[in-house]
Each structure stands twice: as structure tokens, then as C-alpha cells.
Amino acid sequence: MGCAQGKCCLPWQQRGRGGGRGGVGGVGGRGGATLGRAAVPGAGLVLEYATLTVAGLYPDSPGRESQDAYLVATRFAGDPDLHLFAVLDGHGACGAACAGFARDALPRLLAEDYGRLVEDPAAAFREAMPAANAEMHAAAAVDDSMSGTTAVAALVAGGALHVANVGDSRAVAGVWRDGHVVAEELSWDQTPFRADERARVKACGARVMSVEQVEGVRDPDAEVWVADEGDPPRVWARDGLYPGTAFTRSLGDLAAEAVGVIAEPEVKSVEITPAHLFFVVASDGVFEFLSSQEVVDMVAMYEDPREACSAIATESYKLWLEHENRTDDITIIIVHIRDSENPGPAGSHKMNCSGSGEPVTLHKLQSELPVFVPSKSSHLNRDAATELPSSSSGSPTEESLSCVGPSPTHPLFGDGKSSETSKLIQSEKAVSEPVETWHQREGGGVKLDGSMQRSVPKVSC
């Protein structure tokens, strides 16, 4: 939902501190989504992931740029067992700048303390996110006084999954339980709806009211808000109509820090079990009108995560237009978790049922092997019930994205299967290694391979 000041921004001034594959509105490939694979040899797993981002529809700002950003960094810091996925949702006049800055700063800070990341990922996130926040405050090219970004990051570290979150973007896993695919929350939305967060910001001097309460339309002392109905509770300073954030934690938002909007993440760590079929990392453009269970049910309907991305984006877009005259930016990352000894579709050995126990129909891919070429004119599936726009940002990041087809040995596209982990690693390298490789520089620090470095025109916020 963002801040009360609105969501609009000019392109962010890129500072050349890239990290992994990422974008702000890049759309391409089949169904508008990109596909990649990554082996986790230490845990005997294979990750197959898809990403999709769709700029919001704002009738009053037709040329508005998407303020969402995302990051996919496989073999993070050169470690084949570390894989980082993150979604950032900017807000305020310079929201795109803040999201882009955080997307680049966070992986760099995590990789600079590689030892801590491997030893204690939760502690590494708790240090890196506030550090990224401090860097954003000090960056002359980014005005975060009244702008910022939420951030949710999921790190696969061998056989464990660590999720750090500030704000109201969300991560959720699809878990096989008692014959159903059930949503397991991997993060908690940090908003004034939560009594603990509301009490915390109030202790810092904040007022918590909806816009209607601020304007005197409703009782300002009534703490009765209903999700998805009317304006949500927001954080306000005692002496002014700012910052008006609908979340209680974020990166940036310098003015909001005085009233308790902090950059300290909540971190959840889970062991990846055979019951964990997939996880989703997405902006609140998805979860504003869809529950975690509804999103998990939709992912379970599709063997290909690209198709699930498109289906979820389409449904989210439709629901936004049913409730409002605009849509938010929508960004989704879906990661299927598969056993390297049986790398078939997630849950392929189980009967697929929704969380309610109803069987779901699996939508299968066509038999052909598509090759994806990113294009500024790429569009989402035009057969969808609601038409979704392609990115209008025109950012060169669109052309740097890896939009490639899966390996010919992928079980979705043929009978050939490779059960040896080494073969899977080679297949995964063929898909994504030319696009993103992190490794540590001698003497500390991180260097990004030249093939990943991007040149983006400098545009001030």
C-alpha cells in the first residue's frame, strides 16, 4: 500500500554497484516471465525459479515507472550452496531510486561478510539491512527523506532457508501436509495492523490512524481497521501529516525513523524438508487482495513456475481493478525445490490438492523448447482474462536479463533425465552462469564478473 504521499518516481541514478540478476520492471519470455535453474549440491537439491514484474496501472500518471525491484543471485559469493532471491517495493517520490539502491547494496554487504553469512545467516541479515539503510541515507544520488522501500530476501543456504523482511512484501512456502499443499508463512507483514508493531511505533511518538481518521471523517481514537476495506492504519508524526506509511519497517524513509519506522528485519529460518515443494517471494501488489494460501494454491496448479507467475499476476491485476481504479506494481519470484535424484515437477509424485483439499488441475507446458529473447516490447499472456502491460521503463536492465529456456534434459520437456548432481550443476551453469556470478575478491570485498556489469544512463530522481 506504500505511503500516503503516493507512488511515483523518475528513473533511478544507477551507481554501478550491481549484484546478481535484477531489474526494475523487466518483462520478457514466455508468459512474460524468465526462467533459471540452480543446483544446491551440498543438500542434493535443484532450484528452478521464475521471475515476473509488471508495472502498475496509474491513470493519473500514464508514464509512471515501476518502483519494484528484484534480485536473483545464484551461487552467491561464489558458493554453490548459497542462492539469494529478493523483492523490493519502493514508495514515495523517489521509490524506484530507493528500491534500486537497496537491491544493489544488500547483496554487496552480505557478501562482504561472507564468513558471517555462512555461519549465521540471520545475524548477517540483521547487520546488512540496517547497513544498507545507513548507506542510502548518506547517498547523495538518492533522496530518501520521504521515500524508501520494503525488502524481503530469501537465502537458500544448503538445506536451510532464511528469510529476512522489512515492510509488507512477503515470502511464503508451499508445504505438502496431510495430502494438501499448505501455505507456510516465511515472513510477517510489518504494518500497524499488528498490535506489537503498533505499540512499538506509538512508544516512539507516532500516531496511528487511517487517512479518514486524520481528516476527521472517522473517530481518531478508534483502533478498528479491517484489512482490504478502506484506507489502512498509517504511521504519522505527532506534529505533522507525514510520513503516512502503511508499514512499520523499511529501508530509507529518513523522516519516518523518528516515529519508529526502522530497518531492523525480522528473520525466519526453516529446514528444507522433502515436504517443501516451493516458495514465493513477492511484493504487496500480489498480497493486497490474495491470501498466502490462495497464492500457494495457484502455484500448485502449474508445473512451470513461469505460468504460475503469469497466472498470479493476472489475478492480482484483476482484483486491483475490481477494488480500485488503479493497480500496484506486481513482482513475483517462484522457486521450485526439487530433489536432484528425482528432479521432476514439484509434487509430481503426490496428488496435487489445494489447501482446502480440493484437487487442482495441473496446467502443463507445450512440448516445444522455447528460447526467450527479452524485448522492450514483450507482453504478458494476451489470452489472460485481464490484459497486463509490459514494462514501460525502457531500462537497459531488460536487455541484461537472462530469459532462456530450460535445459533439454529438463523433465518437463522430454524423457531424458540426469540424476547425477554433477550433471545438474553443469546444466545449471549453462542456463545462468554467463549472466550472474558472484565471487569474493582476494583481500576481502566482492567483485562482479564483467559479463554482469551494467551500464545504465544516469538520471537523477
CA atoms of 46 and 80, how far apart (whole Å): 11
pTM exceeding 0.75:
no
Task: Measure the CA–CA gap between 352 and 22, rounded to whole angstroms.
Answer: 32
pLDDT value at residue 63: 86
Continuous segment of H or E residues that includes residue 266: strand 266-271
Report pLDDT for 353: 58
Question: 136: closest CA among 295, 297, 284, 263?
Answer: 263
Tens of pLDDT along 417-457?
Answer: 333 334 433 434 333 333 343 433 333 333 333 332 323 23
pLDDT tens-digit map of 380-405: 333 333 444 433 333 322 222 222 22
Residue type for 139, please?
A: A
First CA to last CA distance, the chain: 21
- pLDDT tens digits, the chain, 461 residues: what are they? 555 544 333 333 333 323 344 543 332 222 357 889 999 999 999 999 999 999 999 998 888 899 999 999 999 999 999 999 999 999 999 999 999 999 999 999 999 999 999 999 999 999 999 999 999 999 999 999 999 999 999 999 999 999 999 999 999 999 999 999 999 999 999 999 999 999 999 999 999 988 888 888 887 878 877 776 778 899 999 988 999 999 999 999 999 999 999 999 999 999 999 999 999 999 999 999 999 999 999 999 999 999 999 999 999 999 999 999 999 999 999 999 999 876 655 444 444 555 655 554 444 333 222 222 222 333 333 333 344 443 333 332 222 222 222 333 333 333 333 333 344 334 343 333 333 434 333 333 333 333 323 232 333 34
pLDDT at 405: 28
The Cα–Cα gap between 168 and 190 comes to: 6
DSSP 29-87: SGGG-EEEEEEETTTTEEEEEEEEEE----TT-TTPPP-EEEEEESSGGG-TTEEEEEE
444 C-beta neighbours (distance < 10 Å), count: 9
Q: What CA–CA distance (Å, rounded) separates 450 from 433?
A: 12
**Residues 6 or more apart from 257 whose CB is under 8 A from it?**
none
Cα(111)–Cα(116) distance, rounded to whole angstroms?
9
The secondary structure element, H or E, covering residue 432 is helix 421-432
- C-alpha cell of residue 171: 515470502
List, in sequence order, every residue forming a beta bridge with 53; answer none if it has no partner: 331
Helix, coil or strand: residue 256 = helix
Residue 390 is predicted with a pLDDT of 37
User: Cα 327 to the chain's mean position, in Å?
Assistant: 17
Alpha carbon of residue 357 to chain centroid? 28
The whole-angstrom distance between residue 436's C-alpha and the CA centroid of its chain comes to 18
| CA-based nearest residue to 293, from 172, 149, 448, 447 | 172
> CA 41 to CA 424: how far, in whole Å?
9
Q: What SS3 class is residue 252?
A: strand
Q: Give which of 111, 146, 240, 181 is closest to 362, Cα–Cα.
A: 181
Mean pLDDT estimate for the chain: 76
**Grid cell 481518521 — which residue?**
213
Give the tens place of pLDDT for each residue, 250-269. 999 999 999 999 999 999 99
Q: For position 356, what pLDDT does the model report?
A: 59
> What does the pLDDT look like over 29-66, one tens digit per residue?
223 578 899 999 999 999 999 999 999 999 988 888 99
pLDDT for res 2: 59
Report pLDDT for 461.
Answer: 44
The strand pair at 34-40 and 45-54 is best described as antiparallel
The 3 state secondary structure assigned to 179-230 is CEEEEEECCCCCCCCCHHHHHHHHHCCCEEECHHHHCCCCCCCCCCCECCEC
